[in-house]
Structure 1
Amino acid sequence: MTVLKTSVLVLDCADPEPLARFYAELLGAGAGPAIGDGDGELILVTGGTGVVLLGIRRDANHLPPSWPAPEDSQQTHLRILVAAEDLDEAEREAVSLGARPLAAEDDGTRLDDRTTLRRFSDPAGHAFVLAAVREDPAAHGADG
């Protein structure tokens, strides 16, 4: 019998409350109170149905990733799926909340790829993309 499990991507940062609010607003979700998880303070960002979308953990020694510096790898990023016709509006929303656009040429991507993908760093420096999909993004579930 398989033990029931789930997983969540956890982003480390020096100050988790503002970053949790950033992602909660960007994803139309809620940010719970900080909890101790045995590995520091953790805030869970949850969707309307209670599904955990993301975790934000306090790390007092956190240094922001240096990507898209050419000599560094991206390591990991959050991919947020959005309907293709809403991509421009999603970009405006992300920037208004504090996201920093990353120029496509920073990572060698062709500029015409902006029609389906927009790259950003969140207020703590983590990479994320807004990716256009043809179908309803909710149909993709939590694998985004």
Structure 2
Amino acid sequence: MACRISELILDCADPEPLARFWAEVLGYVELLREEDGSIEIGPPEGSGRRDLHIVLSVSADPKPAKLPLHIDVNPTDRDQDAELERLLALGARPADIGQDGTESWHVLQDPEGNVFCLLRGRIPA
């Protein structure tokens, strides 16, 4: 037997707008609101997707910027340039973490400053 990552917890100052952002980025829906103000998002029920859920958890001390663990995303139905335009329109911002410009990925920040990367390769939805 082995384990499967089922949830990623992301500390944030304001879960609601961050949940909306990540739900749009990933094609997720809001699944659950916890009494502590956390919001869980995941794939739509009945979609057959077994993607991990993301819990946006209220924290008085979120640590935005480049963390030891970050999220990579791949486009599913368009090329990297078109997906970059979509992510920027949703509120992502370019991030400079020392890349030299020759990378095949784009380094971005979500609306609270958490760094993530948009990779080039398209993967099936």
Write 1 or 2 for the structure with the bigger share of helix: 1
Query: Which of 75, 86, 89 is the equivalent residue of 2:79?
Result: 86
Whether the aligned pair in 1 keeps the contact of 2:11 and 2:62 (CA below 8 Å) is: no
Whether the aligned pair in 2 keeps the contact of 1:84 and 1:132 (CA below 8 Å) is: no
RCO higher in 1 or 2 (8 Å CA, sep ≥ 6)?
2
Regions of 4+ moved over 4 Å = 2-6
Whether the aligned pair in 2 keeps the contact of 1:83 and 1:132 (CA below 8 Å) is: no
Q: Does 1:54 align with 2:44?
A: no
2:14 corresponds to: 15
Residue-by-residue CA offset, 1:77-114 (whole Å, 9 max, x unaligned): 11112259611111111111111111xxx33322121x
Secondary structure in 2 aligned to 1:120?
strand
Query: What's the TM-score once normalised by structure 1's chain length?
Result: 0.70
Whether the aligned pair in 2 keeps the contact of 1:76 and 1:127 (CA below 8 Å) is: no
Aligned Cα root-mean-square deviation (Å)? 2.6
Structure 1's 55 and 3: CA in aligned 2 closer, same or farther, altered over 3 A? same
Match runs of 1:1-144 below 5 Å: 6-36=5-35, 40-48=36-44, 49=47, 51=50, 52-59=52-59, 61-67=60-66, 74-82=67-75, 86-102=79-95, 106-113=96-103, 116-133=104-121, 136-138=122-124
* Cα drift, residue 3 of structure 1: 8.8
* Cα drift, residue 4 of structure 1: 7.3
Structure 1's 137 and 5: CA in aligned 2 closer, same or farther, altered over 3 A? closer
Q: Report percent identity of matched pairs.
A: 30
Q: Which runs of 5+ in 2 are unaligned?
A: none
Residue-by-residue CA offset, 1:36-94 (whole Å, 9 max, x unaligned): 4xxx43322211336443221111x1244243xxxxxx312111122596111111111
Query: What's the TM-score once normalised by structure 2's chain length?
Result: 0.80
Number of residue pairs the alignment of both structures matches: 121
Whether the aligned pair in 1 keeps the contact of 2:32 and 2:41 (CA below 8 Å) is: no
1:71 corresponds to: none
Whether the aligned pair in 1 keeps the contact of 2:64 and 2:114 (CA below 8 Å) is: yes
Letter in 2 for 1:24: A
